[in-house]
Structure 1
Amino acid sequence: MRVFSYGGGVQSTAALVLAATGRIDFPVFLFANVGNDSEDPATLVYLEQYAKPYAALHGIQLDELDRVRRDGTTETLYGRLTREGSRSLPIPVRMSNGAPGTRSCTADFKIKVIGRWLKAHGASADKPATVGVGISLDEIERVNNRRSEPYERTVYPLLDHAPPLRRHDCARIITAAGLPVPPKSACWFCPFRRPATWAETRRDRPELFRRACDLENLLNARRTALGKDPVWLTRFNRPLALAVTAAQDMLPGFDPADDALCDNGACFT
């Protein structure tokens, strides 16, 4: 079994083009949707308008997977965060000291969801599936933190390509296939979003930015009630609405390289 973990972004879509044109061997692509209320709306639009039709046209199976509870209902990441009485903080919020908090969002809503599909289709420790991950050369440090599960063998087709592909190479591959380049995929409230991305969201999608501010306020209202320190969606130790201005000239000394990314390749690809 050979499947590709499709993140909905530039690298994964380039891999889809490579698979469709016979340059890599992955007949199945799996998109773990953390929730229609959680994924960036632009990613979901791209998935429906471009990725799925392109995959179908070229005989690639692109399955969209949800996190399903034991009672058969679908759980979303935003739903878990906002559920009444919830104390869960599964996203990597910034703590008051500036450090990122622990997270379970990637494991619960990406890795386990795809793992459940793999095991349901025959993957096991004795017969592991080959799972492609869309990490490009300019993000090679993310490979070191990717932990494979017993039922999978992780490979990196963009790095194995001759020559290895960078993000801008992936964009060219997508454009050459006649597709628009997708936006970077991530939850619209992800604390790993770069400050420049938050600034663009405030400028171009003010309603979505307001929803992120509301979510941050909700999380902190609960923490105040519990006598806990506040948490933030950016590293600037203050509310999102104050930390980000609606422009790309963000803050003095801002360096994009300082920002973290999800370290196992399940998001932002």
Structure 2
Amino acid sequence: MTNPTNPTYRILSLGAGVQSTTLLALSAEGSLPRIDYAIFADTGWEPKGVYEHLERIEREIAEPAGIPILRVATGNIRNDALDPKHRFASMPLYILNKDGRPGMTRRQCTGEYKIKPIKKQVRDILGHPYPQRIPKGVFVEQWVGISRDEFHRAKDADVAYMHNRHPLIVDMDWSRADCTAYLQSRGLADTPKSSCLGCPFHGNQQWRNIRDHSPEEWADVVAFDAAIRAGNAPANASGNPLLGQAFLHRSRVPLDQAPIDHITAREWAQRQAALDTKAPGEPLKELEDGVTDGCSPWTCRGDEPQHGQDDFGLTA
């Protein structure tokens, strides 16, 4: 008989960034309970450093501990955006409208390329693939890598068969700095941020890092930025053209011309305006560092509710 208070499995939502790598290592060494699976949702356009790090932690941490890392995907976010025949869940692109006003496109990519394939994999693990109904009380405990300093991002999943847990907050009371120090002690000081190569939420530091240390990847994102100037190809092909221009960088100029080496006057003004509602220095830090936790499921900046009946629900 199913116990409604005990999970059928423990899984880790593994973005291969700082916090989720910390959780994998803590579980593997026995400092936290053993997880049954770690699931990595691959957008198809992760930085090469993320893929290399994933291979390393699988080889050095997960496999010796007997923890399977499952890779799941629903497509390639870069290719899908440029393919007029492919359904595409939009990225949060920066828009310059025809009248000069700034805007952003809706962010659906986390739901489509991260959350949806994880839900599908969880259903398969539980033995109830969609559209089967999952019996009441059958669920997985899903670990999400949110640390103490990001506690406001902690939330539950929107389906009954997944219960989110945040061990870095509940069990460890660790900040991101604590995670970084722990990874350094494990020889993993070079753990990267987890986000798509061309994520619009990159800070200037991340853009500079790609430009200065990975010319091939820089050429890739510059080419992509130019290719989506009129919006994504599927929308244009379906008769819903973008009424303006789209950009990867918040300055709303082509990426290879964007002011990633300094703060613009407009950005400085925006920082000053934001100080009324945010901690001093935080807006400027965001301009430079981007999303602290990368774009892992359930932690991406600007997360939109993944309602049970939408395209990404996989409910029941």
Give 1:60's aligned amino acid. I
**Aligned counterpart in structure 1 of residue 196 of structure 2, from 187, 202, 209:** 187
Contact 1:10–1:181 (Cα < 8 Å) also in 2: no
Q: Aligned residue for 1:153?
A: 163
Contact 2:13–2:142 (Cα < 8 Å) also in 1: yes
| C-alpha separation in 2, matches of 1:119 and 1:174 | 32
| C-alpha separation in 2, matches of 1:189 and 1:223 | 14
Q: Aligned residue for 1:71?
A: none
Moved more, 181-190 or 258-267: 258-267
Q: Aligned residue for 2:275?
A: none
Give 1:116's aligned amino acid. K
Structure exhibiting the larger radius of gyration computed from Cα positions? 2
Moved more, 77-86 or 106-115: 77-86
**1:232 and 1:201, CA in 2 relative to 1: closer, same or farther beyond 3 A?**
same
Aligned: 1:107 with 2:115: no
| C-alpha separation in 2, matches of 1:63 and 1:86 | 25
**Aligned counterpart in structure 2 of residue 121 of structure 1, from 122, 125, 132:** 125
| C-alpha separation in 1, matches of 2:223 and 2:21 | 32
**1:121 and 1:87, CA in 2 relative to 1: closer, same or farther beyond 3 A?**
closer
Aligned: 1:265 with 2:275: no
Contact 2:22–2:179 (Cα < 8 Å) also in 1: yes
**1:227 and 1:83, CA in 2 relative to 1: closer, same or farther beyond 3 A?**
closer
SS of the residue aligned with 2:12? strand
Q: Aligned residue for 1:70?
A: none
Q: Which runs of 5+ in 2 are unaligned?
A: 1-8, 129-133, 272-283, 302-316
Q: Aligned residue for 1:237?
A: 252
SS of the residue aligned with 1:220? coil
**1:17 and 1:227, CA in 2 relative to 1: closer, same or farther beyond 3 A?**
closer
Deviation at 1:140, TM superposition (A): 2.1
Contact 1:94–1:233 (Cα < 8 Å) also in 2: yes
Deviation at 1:49, TM superposition (A): 2.6
**1:91 and 1:52, CA in 2 relative to 1: closer, same or farther beyond 3 A?**
farther
Deviation at 1:150, TM superposition (A): 2.7
| C-alpha separation in 2, matches of 1:125 and 1:23 | 32
**Aligned counterpart in structure 2 of residue 208 of structure 1, from 189, 202, 217:** 217
SS of the residue aligned with 2:247? coil
Moved more, 195-204 or 6-15: 195-204
**Aligned counterpart in structure 1 of residue 13 of structure 2, from 5, 8, 11:** 5
Give 1:115's aligned amino acid. K
SS of the residue aligned with 2:69? strand
CA RMSD of aligned residues (A): 2.6
Deviation at 1:148, TM superposition (A): 2.9
Deviation at 1:100, TM superposition (A): 3.0
| C-alpha separation in 2, matches of 1:204 and 1:197 | 10
Q: Aligned residue for 2:63?
A: 56
TM-score when normalising by structure 2: 0.72
> Counterparts of 1:63-142 in structure 2 under 5 Å?
63-67=70-74, 75-84=75-84, 88=88, 90-96=90-96, 97-122=101-126, 124=134, 126=136, 127-142=138-153
Give 2:78's aligned amino acid. Y
| C-alpha separation in 2, matches of 1:222 and 1:98 | 15
Contact 2:230–2:246 (Cα < 8 Å) also in 1: no
SS of the residue aligned with 2:142? strand
**Aligned counterpart in structure 2 of residue 168 of structure 1, from 160, 163, 177:** 177
TM-score when normalising by structure 1: 0.84
**1:5 and 1:87, CA in 2 relative to 1: closer, same or farther beyond 3 A?**
closer
Q: Which runs of 5+ in 1 are unaligned?
A: 68-74
| C-alpha separation in 2, matches of 1:86 and 1:155 | 35
Deviation at 1:223, TM superposition (A): 7.0
Give 1:92's aligned amino acid. P
> Counterparts of 1:246-261 in structure 2 under 5 Å?
247=261, 249-251=262-264, 253=268, 255-257=284-286, 259=290
Q: Equivalent pairs: percent with the same residue?
A: 25
